[in-house]
Amino acid sequence: MDRSQGRPRPPGTIREAKRALARQLLRHGGISGVGIEAAEGGGERIKVYLAADDDDLRALIPPAVGGYPVVVEVVGRITPRPGAA
């Protein structure tokens, strides 16, 4: 059950929904990453990390995927640390 909407959630896991959204979004510059986090009040939600606050990018991000809520956080550009594998 999708607690935020009170409706049954479509089949599929949050990981599948996250992967589908990541495939769609990561081809656009300015998306730093896509993850999963605990939602307020229980359950889980998908989080999209932006390199900068950009209205055009925000317009690409749906409010939910597969019944899971999607939230956005501006984190800046994410780069690997030197020597990190």
Position with higher pLDDT, 82 vs 2: 82
pLDDT of residue 81: 81
Q: Is the pLDDT of residue 84 over 80?
A: no
> pLDDT tens digit string along 12-71?
899 999 999 999 999 988 999 999 999 989 999 999 999 999 999 999 999 999 999 999
Spell out the residues 6+ positions from residue 27 whose beta carbon is closer than 8 angstroms to its own.
none
Q: Domain spanning 14-74 has what CATH number?
A: 3.30.300
10 Å Cβ neighbour count for 6? 7
44-50 and 68-74 beta bridge pairing: parallel
pLDDT of residue 53: 96
Q: Does pTM top 0.75 for this prediction?
A: yes
